[in-house]
Structure 1
Amino acid sequence: MLQGWLASLLLVLVVSFSQPVHASKEMTQQEVERWLQSQVVLQKVDDFLLLVEQDDTDGLKFALNRLALPQQEVARFLLLKHIEDNERILSPKMAIFVQGQKSLPPTYTMLERGDGYEFSIPAFNYPAISARLIKRWNSDQKTLEFILQAESEQLVLRDWLSEGSDYERKIREDLLVKEFDSLSPKANAFISQQLTDTNITEWLPSTRVLVRMAQVNEDAALYDLLWKMRADYHSQVELERLASLSSPFAQQQIMAAARNPSLKRQAITELAQITPLPNEVKTFLVTRMTKVEDASFVASQLAQNGHGGWVRDVLSTNSQVKASLVLQALSN
């Protein structure tokens, strides 16, 4: 008797656990399109958007759950898609609601066909939209926190950019680069002076961060720090950008960058391309032609950019220029 009861129980358990927890139903592409264009569902979504504006998450959940399938899934998808497409700002309550949609498994699928493959995808993929919205919301929260800390003069740049994992530090760098120009002059100065008003010997932000801060402020002190750092892609691209501006300030920074051995040749090349050559740039290049290590390269770059005649004039009036090296460069 006991054995029979145990056998029956085992059979029930096997049957129960062998049943899928969530059975999907397949739709054709045409059916999906018809549902997405259903005027009844679209009207419901308009009603739900009013609840979003009112921040009524309880009412929204109740209204959605009252819908029968597949209208319910279509409405969830269209509602979240509208929020995403229109970049609506989510309140904390609404963010929790959106987060909850990610854990609701879609019932309806459709076949995705390609060259030699076929697989099922959600017909109304609201969990994917939910994930993107929450990612954006988290980013918005970090942005708000950064701005509030900067504006209240509570942000310690070194700590803020140094703490956490590599990924967290990268996110903060991205945030500063993106939002630095949106800060008030007061907040901007508070952050910038943490670099320019102290003797920094142990720490500087990355060149990417320093480039952005220097760009926004057009601050010679920030550029001075940048040119002292090890040159990389970001400092090289910034040199190119400065060269495209043709302003006296930009030209001064290119000349300053030449003090960095790794940037010197690029800086000289950019300066040699200026036409006509400003007096300050001429003075700088003449000084470089008095140095054994630079004379040949400077003269060569100037000649390639149509300034050979001016270089010959310099030779005839300045005895400090390394004449033999310059003449050899001009003859090549």
Structure 2
Amino acid sequence: MLRRWCALSLLIASVLQPVSALEVTEAKIQHVQTMPQFVAHIETLKPYYDHSDFQSLEILLDQLPALTQEVARSQLIQYASEVRQFNSARIAWLTIQAERQSPFTITEQGDGYTVQRMAFFYSNQANGLLREWKKELISQHATVQLEQGQLTLSEWLKGDLEQQQKRSQVIVRAIPQLSDSAIDVLVEQFHSDPQLIWLPDNSILAALAAYSDDSKLYDLLWRRRTDQYSLAEIQRLSSTPASDFVVSQLIAATSNPSLKEPAYRALTSFNPLPEMAKSFLQIQLGDQIERSLITPYLMKQGHDHWLQQLLAISTDPDLIAHIKEILPTGQIPPITHK
């Protein structure tokens, strides 16, 4: 294999024209990347990464001309980002690549200016992979602690806002992997630890409520300040079967002024409308402000037939007038209310 790579080096070196030291063009890089011989042979390097044989990999890379070697390193790190499985040898090699500074630059000329930039950014990509690996380590450690009942959320989430948000996402990612007993421990912490009121967002609370179906957690979620996570949970609930539990949570969410409209929209999205939702919405339609919020969603979701039924049985003159106003003329039954 080394002999084949030496032959490839000579071939590429003979094709490339001499360039000034350390400077290269995008076209020349593209030329190396698309050479059939290079494309075929770069595949022979990947198994060395797969088997973490980096001593042999570096020997093979060193056989290449400088520019071709840089292209190969760039593509290998791209391959590493696709594999996304780390061990100590791979992390050690990626650390070296992250610290490596490519000697090649590209000069860009514009209208009255010249800019010189790096030709390869694989060191940045390697750094990104290392950051992802560190996140995975933290997540794995947190998961183990959660399973063992040794992680106290309010303590673990201490720090500045950025750290709190990063660690919150670690917990959110861990929740689907946890056992029922570990979920129960987390739920109990929200019930008993007042420090968790000060969480920076609703990410953990929404994820935990969804996995535990704990009504007290939902009650806390709906009472907290609305954010993308509480809104997303309303949307998720609306996409699940309309059980009494789901409908009751959406009804409870309407008590939060910031969640009222999305909760109404979610309730009216069920087709057919669950009886519990009908009963609640019928009561709400008795209020002038509430019905102005609800009826547009009922019409949009195709529940005009139910509005016709309400028109036939209602004794509320304001509601009757409102329904007649929004229903098409042909859908208003010829009923006279006394």
Q: Flag whether TM exceeds 0.5 (same fold).
A: yes
Alignment of 1:43-54 (within 5 A): 49-54=46-51
TM-score by length of 2: 0.71
Q: 1:45 to 1:88 in 2, by over 3 A?
A: farther
Superimposed CA distance per residue, residues 235-268 of structure 1 (whole angstroms, 9 cap, x where no aligned partner): 2343243234351232111111123344345434
Superimposed CA distance per residue, residues 103-159 of structure 1 (whole angstroms, 9 cap, x where no aligned partner): 222112233467876533333433222222212222222222222222222221222
Q: Distance in 2 between matches of 1:54 and 1:110?
A: 34
Alignment partner, residue 319 of structure 2: 326
SS of equivalent to 2:149: coil
SS of equivalent to 1:27: coil
Q: Distance in 1 between matches of 2:311 and 2:41?
A: 81
Q: Distance in 2 between matches of 1:41 and 1:266?
A: 55
Alignment of 1:149-168 (within 5 A): 149-161=145-157, 163-168=158-163
1:29 counterpart letter in structure 2 = E
Instruction: Kindly indicate whether residue 310 of structure 2 is the aligned counterpart of residue 315 of structure 1.
Output: no
One of 210, 229, 238 as aligned partner of 2:233: 238
Deviation at 1:170, TM superposition (A): 1.3
Alignment of 1:286-301 (within 5 A): 286-288=282-284, 295-300=287-292, 301=294
Q: Distance in 1 between matches of 2:265 and 2:181?
A: 37
Alignment partner, residue 176 of structure 1: 171
Q: 1:286 to 1:267 in 2, by over 3 A?
A: same
Q: 1:309 to 1:136 in 2, by over 3 A?
A: same
One of 76, 81, 87 as aligned partner of 2:83: 87
Q: Distance in 2 between matches of 1:44 and 1:266?
A: 56
SS of equivalent to 1:226: helix
Alignment partner, residue 106 of structure 2: 110
Q: Does the CA contact (< 8 Å) of 1:109 and 1:121 recur in 2?
A: yes
Instruction: Kindly indicate whether residue 261 of structure 2 is the aligned counterpart of residue 283 of structure 1.
Output: no
2:319 counterpart letter in structure 1 = V
Alignment partner, residue 197 of structure 2: 203
1:179 counterpart letter in structure 2 = A
The structure with the larger Rg is: 1
Alignment of 1:132-151 (within 5 A): 132-151=128-147
Q: Distance in 1 between matches of 2:66 and 2:264?
A: 70
Q: Distance in 2 between matches of 1:106 and 1:166?
A: 36
In structure 1, the gaps of 5 or more residues are: 1-22, 317-322
Deviation at 1:207, TM superposition (A): 1.8
Q: Distance in 1 between matches of 2:269 and 2:64?
A: 69
Q: Distance in 2 between matches of 1:31 and 1:97?
A: 27
Q: 1:203 to 1:47 in 2, by over 3 A?
A: same
Superimposed CA distance per residue, residues 53-86 of structure 1 (whole angstroms, 9 cap, x where no aligned partner): 45455665566557663454344333323212x3
Alignment partner, residue 129 of structure 1: 125
Q: 1:26 to 1:281 in 2, by over 3 A?
A: same
SS of equivalent to 1:154: coil
Q: Distance in 1 between matches of 2:202 and 2:123?
A: 38
Q: 1:27 to 1:183 in 2, by over 3 A?
A: same
> How much identity, in percent, do the aligned residues show?
25
Q: Distance in 2 between matches of 1:265 and 1:195?
A: 27
Q: Distance in 1 between matches of 2:84 and 2:295?
A: 55
Instruction: Kindly indicate whether residue 28 of structure 2 is the aligned counterpart of residue 36 of structure 1.
Output: no
Alignment partner, residue 219 of structure 2: 224
In structure 2, the gaps of 5 or more residues are: 1-19, 326-338
SS of equivalent to 1:260: coil
Alignment partner, residue 27 of structure 1: 24
Q: Distance in 2 between matches of 1:94 and 1:100?
A: 10
Deviates more, 1:259-268 or 1:34-43: 34-43
Q: Does the CA contact (< 8 Å) of 1:297 and 1:329 recur in 2?
A: no
Deviation at 1:25, TM superposition (A): 1.4
Q: 1:29 to 1:315 in 2, by over 3 A?
A: closer
Q: 1:137 to 1:309 in 2, by over 3 A?
A: same
Q: 1:145 to 1:115 in 2, by over 3 A?
A: farther
Q: Does the CA contact (< 8 Å) of 2:218 and 2:249 recur in 1?
A: yes
Instruction: Kindly indicate whether residue 96 of structure 2 is the aligned counterpart of residue 100 of structure 1.
Output: yes
Alignment partner, residue 189 of structure 2: 194
Deviation at 1:178, TM superposition (A): 3.1
SS of equivalent to 1:26: coil
